[in-house]
Homo-oligomer: A and B are copies of this chain.
Amino acid sequence: MSSLDQKFFQDTNVAIPPATDTLALSTAVGTVTTHVAKDTLFWEADPADYIFKVLRGTICLSKLLPDGRRQVARFCHAGDLVGLTASEDYPYSADALTDATTIRIRKCDLDEEFDANPAARESVLAAVQEELSAAQRQLMVLGRKNAVERVASFLIAMSEQALRQGEDGSVVELPMTRVDIADYLGLTHETVCRTLSGLKKSGVVAISDPHRIELLQRDILEDIAEDSEERRCAA
C-alpha cells in the first residue's frame, strides 16, 4: 500500500468530525488530483465513475434547471466526500471554488475496498448519513426561513466549519461569490448583498473584505438563524 493510498482514507486536515471521517478505510487506490479555481470536477449527468475526497480547498455541488436557474446543494471542504451516489450518473455538478486538492478513486475500486474491508463501508455510511442530515436541515432553511434567517444560518454554519478546521470561528472566510451564496440559500445575489449590509449596519457583523466576515455578535446571529424574536433586529 503506497502512502498515497493510505492518504485517501486518513484524516487529511486538522480536525474532521467523526461522522465524516473515513479513517477506518485503509487500502484503497486513489490518485491525488489538483484543481485550479473554476475547474469542474464533473458535470451533472456525467457517468459517476469516480468519487473524490477533498484534501484542500472548497468544492461547490450544484444542479441546474433547463432555464438556467441554479441550486447549490452543498459546499464541500477538507475531509468531505464528493460524488458518492447510488445512481449511474452524478446528480449534480462539482466545481472548485478555490484551488483545491482531492484524492480521486474509481468507484469500482471503492467497491473492492468495501469487500476487503467492511469497516470502510461503515464509515462511508456514516458520512452519507451526516450528509443526508445536513440536506434535511437545509430543507428547513429553504422551505421556511426568510432572507435574514437564511443568511444568518449560513454564516453560523460557515463559522462552525471554520471551528472544525481548528480556526477561530469569529471570522468567516467566504471562498464563494455572492451568487454562489444566493444559489445555495434560494435567494438572489442582490438580496444576499442587502441582507449582509443590513447585518453590518446593525452591528452584528463586520465586513472589511466581501470575502471575510467577522461575527461581532454571534449570539444574536444564532438567535436570528434559529427562529428568534430577534430576527427583526437586523433588517
A86 to B, closest residue via Cβ: B129
Q: How many copies does the complex hold?
A: 2
Indicate the size class of the contact surface on chain A. Answer: 35 or more
Interface of A is mostly: helix
| Chain A contacts to B: CB under 8 angstroms | 19, 63, 65-67, 69-71, 73, 84-87, 91-92, 114, 118, 121-122, 124-126, 128-133, 135-140, 142-145, 183-186, 226-228
Can you list 11 pairs linking A and B with CB atoms under 8 Å apart?
A65-B144, A65-B227, A86-B133, A87-B133, A91-B133, A91-B137, A121-B125, A124-B125, A128-B129, A139-B139, A139-B142
Chain B residues positioned under 8 Å from A118 (CB to CB): 118, 121
Given contacts A71-B143, A121-B122, A144-B186, 8 further A-B contacts (CB under 8 A): A19-B86, A63-B136, A65-B145, A69-B145, A87-B133, A135-B135, A135-B136, A142-B143
Q: Is the CB of B69 within 8 A of A227?
A: yes
Known contacts A118-B121, A144-B186; decide if A136 and B69 are in contact (CB<8 Å): no
A111 to B, closest residue via Cβ: B122
A186 to B, closest residue via Cβ: B143
User: A71: which of B121, B122, B124, B140 is its contact (CB, 8 Å)?
Assistant: B140
Q: Is the CB of B144 within 8 A of A69?
A: yes
Known contacts A136-B91, A139-B71, A139-B73; decide if A122 and B128 are in contact (CB<8 Å): no
State the Cβ distance, A128 to closest chain B Cβ, in Å. Answer: 5
User: A133: which of B85, B114, B228 is its contact (CB, 8 Å)?
Assistant: B85
Q: Is the CB of A227 within 8 A of B143?
A: no
Chain B residues positioned under 8 Å from A19 (CB to CB): 86-87
A186 to B141, CA, bound (A): 10
A91 to B, closest residue via Cβ: B133
Known contacts A66-B227, A133-B85, A226-B66; decide if A71 and B125 are in contact (CB<8 Å): no
User: A128: which of B67, B128, B228 is its contact (CB, 8 Å)?
Assistant: B128
State the Cβ distance, A84 to closest chain B Cβ, in Å. Answer: 7
Chain B residues positioned under 8 Å from A186 (CB to CB): 142-144
A38 to B81, CA, bound (A): 38
Q: Is the CB of A65 within 8 A of B139?
A: no
